[in-house]
Amino acid sequence: MRLYESLCILRPVQVEADHERVIEKMREVLSQAGASILKFENSGKKKLAYDIQHERKGNFITVQFEGPSTAVAALERFHRMEDQVMKFMTVRINPCDVVAVTETDGEDSGDGGIQ
């Protein structure tokens, strides 16, 4: 099993139920494909660097998961077919990078590394 991170930008909508429907469907697609979700983050609505499909803002969703490559194919197929998704990208994560980030996260004592 490999580690992946997927970022998708959803259309900004007035009804929050539309985002919840897409999020639940993403979870369902990943679980049916045999992937296990490690981290799921909804960063909320943010301003985009440039207009995407005539929208100036988007709702950012980040998912880190572990699974086979067929899970990536299933998730990206869902992204392409869903009208709420404006852009998406999935990348493979190196496991040693994930471990290094979690080990050093929050351990800075503020002394500049001097023992």
pLDDT in tens, 3-26: 999 999 999 887 788 889 999 999
**Domain assignment of residue 36, given as a range:** 2-104
Number of domains in the chain: 1
**Angle in degrees, 0-180, between the axes of helices 16-32 and 69-81, rounded to the nearest 10:** 150
Burial status of residue 42 (CB atoms within 10 A of its CB: 0-12, 13-18, 19 or more):
middle
Above pLDDT 70, what percent of the chain? Answer: 83
- How far is residue 10's CA from residue 93's CA, in Å, rounded to a whole number? 23
Residue 111 is assigned to a structural domain of this protein: no
Average pLDDT, the chain: 85
Residue 74 is assigned to a structural domain of this protein: yes
Residue 21 is assigned to a structural domain of this protein: yes
CATH of the domain at 96: 3.30.70.60
The sign of the CA dihedral 32, 92, 94, 58 is negative
pTM higher than 0.85 for the full model? no
- How far is residue 45's CA from residue 57's CA, in Å, rounded to a whole number? 7
Residue 114 is assigned to a structural domain of this protein: no
